[in-house]
Structure 1
């Protein structure tokens, strides 16, 4: 990603951004009856017990010192929240960065007992998209899937981040399944309910529009579904058309739009907020009618947006609201994006009700959001073996 480009990644943008997709209305659809016998690997649901969480720490070597300094506080807060209940695996750019990060954590009184470091060059911080995807094989053994990462379709530098899954596999002794020649698939582009349903936007995976075609050029929906069945264990697919904008390099990742929760629930926004977020009417209708593998319609849980336009860049208001859907479920905790906004407490309370026994920890993501993402975008779970 280029230096100081705001909204460079994220899955949820200002209200006007995705309205260009309105002309596609009526084309979204729910398709897919894959053969369950083709399943080879299954991806554990995010709320299952973790061994740890992977973080790629911000550095100065690609986007500059100001970028790094603006984001450090968020990474310190995430590490502090996570380290008491699971390991925190920090990828530092070099040994100098490891020392700098260690000093930051010590200054914030963060225990280092459950914190470890791996030294690898990265292009940026978005480990959800470029990092290891952990799945289980037929014997229940954890395997890392390396789907290949090409900077959201060649939009940004990606060579360093693309190497991270294989590097982590080598570091930790976990088998790496190289899928680089199979498909490009960023972690934020798919949501699974843990029972066979996968939801995604076509725009971020299989769209053949010029802006996005270099992700999986020539790949059909049937081919994508076959891959997701074999490598993630999905047996039912719910596809939204999604959308494109110059500001959102992800081409509308699903993890800023909805998230599955236990009890056959789907966390999302109100219809009006979804529309403002850029979803076309047919996509909203699909969300409202979405059902599990037993064709039972998910119960929708509605999270608000922030009351205020919360994002600034170099002191200037950018004129859009914050989103709470992009939260991360950890051992005993849920890390929720917060914005110093009145609706922080509203969203935190709703999320707490969905995850009894877990502490909701608000993470101030205003600087991170101004640079393109929120909590889920910059975390990656390693399930417990």
Structure 2
């Protein structure tokens, strides 16, 4: 049985994808420049801690090289979009300790009418080949942003994702749990009823867990907590706290003070961070709560340097720092 290690386990590399022409780059030269520089800021921050490989559409190779740090490796292949967490493989340990990659079915977050995925659905297999690891195929529609593990068998999932429209509508919970046991070694599947409010709008994932809650150690969950009663996520986070507190030690990570942007209620979340060797790449929002979030993350991951990166351009496009990255853990010896 293969087992997914927790995100704080030693890593060999971070994988990312670079924005390709289309939705992520936007419609104007200014939007494209903003996207390129934001993705590059995350890659360059990661490169301060460990090797980084960025998958780049050939049309964007020159633009990528212009903004990525020299030490960041580029590999080229066609892309639709730039959310490596979701289209890329989920790395696991085989019983031998060697690394493998679970290649989920990726179908544009449940066949969203605005998404294209004819190229991105091949990225899981491509990254496995580039990483030199064996591929574990799966018939389940799933994305890396839809699971979080604690390294001791527990995994967080969301009913509106794994069992949601356009994904695995005909599957039962038992079938999903069996596939998670086979692929990532899950022995306890914790079903959250839903995700954050904005994630159910047109360009959302309909409930990804990685903007809601994450493990920071076995038995301890870091939970996005909206304290403002005027925000619809206040009720969401309160109900999730009640559910999770029955099983885990829950640490609240308060939401940014900003409640709305030009599109409506924000889903800005400090939970959507990336753990790297010796560090944490954290979302910042030029918000009064940024400093408090850094302090909580520093306490949650003792001994790691917390590096904030402005994530507003990412959330404008539907995700955050965790969503655009995928860690490749070290083989277990």
The two structures have a TM-score, normalised by structure 2, of 0.89
Runs (5+) with no aligned partner, structure 1? 1-39, 292-297
Pair 129,137 (structure 1): closer, same or farther in 2 beyond 3 Å: same
Aligned to 2:32, the other structure's residue is in SS state helix
Alignment match, 1:223: 175
Match of 1:358 among 272, 295, 304: 304
Pair 237,317 (structure 1): closer, same or farther in 2 beyond 3 Å: closer
Aligned to 1:147, the other structure's residue is in SS state strand
Distance 2:326 2:239 in 1: 31
Distance 2:285 2:260 in 1: 7
Alignment match, 2:62: 99
Match of 1:372 among 302, 307, 318: 318
The two structures have a TM-score, normalised by structure 1, of 0.78
Q: Is the 1:310–1:322 Cα contact (8 Å) retained in structure 2?
A: no
Pair 133,344 (structure 1): closer, same or farther in 2 beyond 3 Å: same
Task: Name whichever structure is richer in strand by fraction.
Answer: 2
Alignment match, 1:162: 121
Structure 2 residue 6 is the aligned partner of structure 1 residue 42 = no
Pair 367,266 (structure 1): closer, same or farther in 2 beyond 3 Å: same
Structure 2 residue 20 is the aligned partner of structure 1 residue 59 = yes
Aligned to 1:168, the other structure's residue is in SS state helix
Aligned length: 321
Match of 2:209 among 241, 254, 262: 254
Residues 92-139 of structure 1 deviation map (CA, whole Å, 9 limit, x = unaligned):
100x5222221223xxxx3x23x2111011111111111111111111
Q: Within 5 A, what are the aligned runs for 1:61-210?
A: 61=22, 63-64=26-27, 65-94=29-58, 96-105=59-68, 110=69, 112-113=70-71, 115-155=72-112, 156-179=115-138, 182-207=139-164
RMSD: 2.2
Q: Which runs of 4+ in 1 moved over 6 A?
A: none
Pair 321,235 (structure 1): closer, same or farther in 2 beyond 3 Å: closer
Runs (5+) with no aligned partner, structure 2? none
Q: Whose radius of gyration is greater, 1 or 2? A: 1
Aligned to 2:275, the other structure's residue is in SS state strand
Q: Is the 2:19–2:81 Cα contact (8 Å) retained in structure 1?
A: yes
Distance 2:21 2:226 in 1: 40
Distance 1:248 1:201 in 2: 17
Residues 271-320 of structure 1 deviation map (CA, whole Å, 9 limit, x = unaligned):
7569832638754421221x2xxxxxx22111111112464xxxx46453
Q: Is the 1:146–1:166 Cα contact (8 Å) retained in structure 2?
A: yes
